[in-house]
Structure 1
Amino acid sequence: MKMKKLSRLLLAAPCSGSGKTVITCGILEILKRRKLSCVSFKCGPDYIDPMFHRYILGIAGYNLDSFFLPPEQVKALFEEKAKDADMAVIEGVMGYYDGVAGISTHASAYEISQITDTPVVLVVDGKKSSLSLAAEIKGFLEYRPDSRIRGVILNRTGPAMAERLRPYLEELGVCLYGAVPACKEAEWESRHLGLTLPGEQARLRERMEALADRLESCLDVEGLLKLAGEAPPVQRGREQRKSSGSEGKRVKRIAVARDEAFCFYYQENLDWLEDNGWKLIPFSPLHDSCLPCAGISAILLGGGYPERYAKELSENQAMLRELRMAEKQGIKFLAECGGFLYLHEMLEGMDGGSYPMTGLIEGRGYRTERLSRFGYIVLYDRQGRRMARAHEFHYWDSTRPGEAFRAVKPLGDREWDCMVVTDRMIAGFPHLYYASGKDWILQFLEKT
């Protein structure tokens, strides 16, 4: 089996909010400065963090998720997307051991470290703590004997305190790669679904450069590179099966909504569509007055923030008419979460107003005060057949969430009806991972 040398690191944390995204982005900026060919990955079902990775590196980032894919396919995806890179940086998700249902390490950053055989650096928030940090780190090292945690970065910790703690941390068998003090460079804006998007962050390029300057001054970058270089060669996993028979077929076009309101897409899903012979044509429901070109066979409306732009979307009557006409012409619709809400008759905006939308689904989207349904799910049809794996994360709900499928929480006792599915539409709150239900999704798209 062919082996490939690939330097790599996984940056994890004890919990969300520890600063791993900011530090990951700063390190990516440093690697870019050093002219290293680098690729980035995000553990778990996250859309926003990979957008920041892409902003820095200028190339797509990918999700590594062992709930959506079996381990050998996660490994194959990792190796395939990193094949031309000198270095891979993987950002963890939530707490290092946090996995399915909050009671398992399945689909955790820890599990991804095992699958990819990657050394781990733990980003620990040191604010309001001192020696107790050593106890916390000791717990993470010992919770699993094969933790793969090789080093620590202390966040929101001054250099003097870090140096006083160094011998106590090194006594545990880990290397302290530096401490990042509380500073304005590491303060990023956020809202109900996570960090605000790269395009919404003021002077982001300037701030990224300032963050990298700060990290260069307080982290042992050479030490991190040395650790990354100690990762064993990658054994190529089982190849992800690509579509058979797509070569020679007529290329079909799918219009993909890409703007401030619709921006949540797994890059793997977009690649999957292209691998199966679909040409992706971007368009903006916010800014365009018509669909991008003739010959569209399907429309993909991803998740995002339609509630923040409900008034503007409603006022773009030309686009609403285009979408209604497309539905009448038999064009297929794939719509997830925010895209699903856009297909409703009415949508409550962030301002509390109620705005007309496309009206392709009878019902109203409305705001709730908390996450309505959150986490991994498996989708089953009414005959009990497993259709796909997916993820839900939304504060808005619907008077018609759909009833075509049953969503079942793994390792839990919750389940609910969801999804509107017809010959021309797959729509609902679940964010689908296409490779987990590829035959069903492909049949839907290809059926005339």
Structure 2
Amino acid sequence: MAVTRIELEFWSYGNKLRRFRCRLARYPRDLWPETGWSIAGEVLLPYLVSGLGLVAAGLVMDLVQHWAVFQTISEIFILVPALVGLKGNLEMTLASRMSTAANTGKLDHPREKWTLITSNLALIQVQATVVGFLAAVAAVVLGSFSRGNIDLNRIAILCASSTITAFIAALALGLVMIVVILGSRKVGINPDNVATPIAASLGDLITLSLLAVISSVFFEHIDMVYLAPSLCGVFLGLTPFWTLIAKRSPQIKEVLKTGWQPVLVAMTISSVGGLILDKTVTNPNFEGVAVFTPVINGVGGNLVAIQASRISTSLHLWSVPGVLPRRMWQKWPNPCTTFFRSGINSTSALVLLFLVVPGQLLFLYTVHFVQGGHVAVTFTFTAFYLIAAVLQVALLLYAADLIVRLTWRMGLDPDNFCIPYLTALGDLLGTGLLALCFYIDWYVESRE
């Protein structure tokens, strides 16, 4: 007997209902509704800690910009946003993917848990090595366009420094992410709220410090012409080994095939932001831009990664790829839907947006206090900086709502695709808006 379309639809909805009942019976605590206060309570401390980590990264950036290697090979400034952005491309994506796995029960079985952990760590090693090398190539190309010359020694130092920095930073941060997610699950905290801020708090500081030290070592031994290319080749040569380990998980094997596009596109977008940074850092009228760049970029990427991870987890819990839940049927949401509609995603978006001003004020004056007035924080600069920070985060939260919906509608996993685009967009918006703030502040002071 032929099966009608109505019977097929009832059968499909029956399967979804049974799946929901199984989840409800198995994970009753995970499905209790969150409130704005509970989200703020879980996010606030990691957000402040991550912000102070970003302030430390800014202070490191302000210090190392005067080192000989940064003064001689200024293409490193182009490299910085792309390389620092790897935490958004890799570690935050890892955190989002593993948080979803934790919230859907995939880490409750020891064998499946360790397969997922080792495969994910191997995956980010492959991606970090390849993207670190390509980021250096992009910095060389953009630098040659703006300066018109190419030096082979500079190319070797840039490629080796970027590749080794990306490899070591990805390994260290990946291990930290795994510990944080397993610990959060054990104590009953939603990993989506804490994992990505911790990645942000450590990512910029570790990456900038490693890049500065490694590039300085290569610059001091620039006469050893084979040192940098040889070490770069060794780390690139390890990628087949990491690839074999990553393929042990079918899910990660699929990411190895399909997950390169967002990472590479994000690297390109961040490199454009790096070109803006290179032009502003070398401008004597913009003293202090190096300090605030990691802060504004990191805070924006941090908050939008939390939102994207939360939306992705809710979609995994309540729907199947390709089908949006009823409350998210709008494929093209407007800003009012993102921030003011009833629902936990709108609540979390508002909470994250409200955290911007008090957090940025704390970070701004922490920089001013630590620098002892070296960086002038005027009323005009503070006002425009806060406007820029709020505008950046509002645009990013709306973009997260839009991109996650479109990705899910296309049948793709947002955990693997969305955060790289969003953090790279955050780097570009943050660097551009920060440069505009410094220009406005300089213009107002010059008129006075």
* TM-score using structure 1 length: 0.25
- Give the number of the structure whose residues are more often strand, by fraction: 1
Question: Higher RCO, 1 or 2 (CA under 8 Å, sep at least 6)?
Answer: 2
